[in-house]
Amino acid sequence: GQQVMQIPQYQHVQEGEDFTTYCNSSTTLSNIQWYKQRPGGHPVFLIQLVKSGEVKKQKRLTFQFGEAKKNSSLHITATQTTDVGTYFCAGTPGNQFYFGTGTSLTVIP
């Protein structure tokens, strides 16, 4: 079954509001990657977290890896219309990449 779950499945926000998506794994992950998929497009790599408790920032995006390496989050501050898309986490227990179910973000201008 699905080993990596994400919540929420959908999120609608007003432009300028913050957004957070959470990723939870049933097993300990060696690392977590985050991808963004624009409507009609393919997933594009955003970032990778490897260390327990790691926090990384990319402009308005903040990524966290949990202390137990079983959960992660992506927070976007002051969303813009260019943030629209589906955000996926992907974990790698072993040689397989397990993608989360994704969070679809809609930004209302």
Partner 1 sequence: NAGVTQTPKFQVLKTGQSMTLQCAQDMNHEYMSWYRQDPGMGLRLIHYSVGAGITDQGEVPNGYNVSRSTTEDFPLRLLSAAPSQTSVYFCASSYSSPGQGYRQPQHFGDGTRLSIL
CB of 55 to partner 1, least distance (A): 17
Q: How far is the CB of 77 from partner 1 (least distance, A)?
A: 24
At its nearest, how many Å lie between partner 1 and the CB of residue 96? 6
Cross-strand bridge partners of residue 56:
63
Q: Which is nearer to partner 1, 76 or 102 (CB)?
A: 102
Residues that bind partner 1 (CB under 8 A): 2, 4, 6, 9, 30-31, 33, 35, 41-45, 48, 50, 88, 90, 92, 95-102
Bridge partner list, 86: 37, 104
Q: Which two tokens stand for residue 96?
A: 């397989």
Q: Count the Cβ atoms, other than its own, within 10 Å of residue 32.
A: 28
Element (H or E) spanning 54, and its range?
A: none
CB of 47 to partner 1, least distance (A): 9
Residue 6 or 64: which CB sits closer to partner 1? 6
Query: By C-beta, is 20 or 77 nearer to partner 1?
Result: 20
Pick the closer one to partner 1 by CB: 76 or 90.
Answer: 90
Q: Parallel, antiparallel, or unpaired: how do β-strands 10-14 and 32-37 relate?
A: unpaired
The residues, any chain, with a CB within 8 Å of residue 29's CB and separated by 6 or more, are 69, 70, 91, 92, 93
